[in-house]
Structure 1
């Protein structure tokens, strides 16, 4: 009989720093049966890099839970979307959204992203101390994705609350309520844009996107696509920015290297993605047929969780994995996934993170931690801090 590891037994230490636990599991093997903290739920957990990479691209691991008779809080409220679909439906949905959400469109956002960043820092830096999450890491990607999709500014505070509850719920009922309210809001937003006609934002373009064969996104698919783009388009980037700044400030030699040579900026972002990526584990997959992962049998219908954070610290792929080294060859990290479900918003997240980190480091040369970080986000999905207190000398801002 396979042993079930109860991750809840590790207590709050596991939430703050899961890496030692994942390392001990990896020593025993790349795949384990685990019980999730604060949940009466058992799943397979993949903690090895090679095994995680293979599992992410394995077509026998389905994302559509309904094929196995399972349901989740967002199934009815939100509907079908990229994170819960398999080919051929996934292929069709991704093809349609890719027609509107292009690399060129992301690149065109560069000046606006810089402008938003500068405005946020103009408001933040004269005070000499602030919470990075509240002052920069959260409002930057939230503003960008809401502007990109055409979400009215007055709606963004409420949207933030619902989004946070959806990705890191405080209770099962609160999670269900958040998905219902998000579904209702997105339905109304889409209908308003449909009636208003073309306006140049991404959601309006998605409403009118048509494939060569005349195929279009249905109302339910539009709602699901808006949900994925809004949630994944900012929640993960919040953590990427705050995790990167935290890693740099707790590794002063790496921060000094970056200040001396800004060509290392890409390396700093990619190393953060490997070392403390914004998503701890990929969303569930389910065995659509009997299979083995690294020799471990997985029965049809069983849930599989793929550890992106764990894979990033696998010494077989990344030597001295617990070190933070912005010059490291970190190619092959899995922070944005792998295979057909590779993150659609990766170029936007990278652009926002590079802009935020460069601007903050250049404009606050005396930047330092102003105490310990706040609570780490609960659950097994997101990896980030609720707050990150910082301080600096206000007069050091070269733009002041």
Structure 2
């Protein structure tokens, strides 16, 4: 007997017909003798509808009441799935996220602190399938709190870790993790397995399969994940701590990620002295604006420098306002911005031991006259900021250059 968490996204729960299909999958796992917990998202489009209602009710609304409204979508699907399972002869009951998940931080983007598993353990020991709305928990002051967009993935992983599940299966509208977006490269290959590190980097630089926080939580708990299709049977993609020797060689570069959610900001002629960069970045951090790629180019003979960095495109206006408010303290000459940029990244454990892979990336882009506006790297990732108009071409040529096309890997 295994203890399994199954998480179903919004497209999987979009209507009674699809909920019936989900119930069939859950029934098969339960019939195999497994203890099953199911975490569900709201029906596709429902959260957006609820968010819009909040905006119409009050532009400056109470974040705590916002959470009450937007969390209701998951509660509806949890109840409907429990009813459907009961009608199919499967013992099932729904719980509420606030009964199980303790959360802290900002309402609307709270973080999981702990999972209270006693209620779930009792249900599972009695042979009952537990159906849980994702995306929600309870704050320290006893108020319902939501976990931010994609928070149902985080709920599923947190509950799986908290109840020592054997694995967590994430059912989505794709059949696994691909080497890149198949809409850009139709020859993209589905990966049999990928490491937590690689998946975390891919999620962080634009891949939309899994929410970044959920991958990080699974990695810390060493909880095996699988990404599977909710609509057809298949092995999906395993997300694990380490690959086998053959898998590691095959996945020298695991994938190419593309992110259009980028904007570039440049401050010219700032002082070339300690503390200047902090004077720019610290106010942005205080405003909750994520700064990604940073290039600081000094001109020693002039005693000044230029600072370039990227922020999420949706945060560009706010970032510009924060910097303009501090113009006197920062003392820059010009403030330049560009939102027609994008980020392309190569990700793979092979980068750790083979520095030639980064060189190959730059050479490949240069051969197609794709200019690099900024570069950043980690132990297993190299990212380049380029013109957005060149992003699809960059992804395609890198995908081929690293042997990731399906026919190349066959």
TM-score interval (norm. to shorter): under 0.3
TM-score normalised by L of structure 1 = 0.25
| Larger strand proportion of the pair | 2
TM-score normalised by L of structure 2 = 0.25
| Larger helix proportion of the pair | 1
Greater relative contact order structure (CA < 8 Å, 6+ sep):
1
In our comparison, the structure showing a higher alpha carbon Rg is: 2
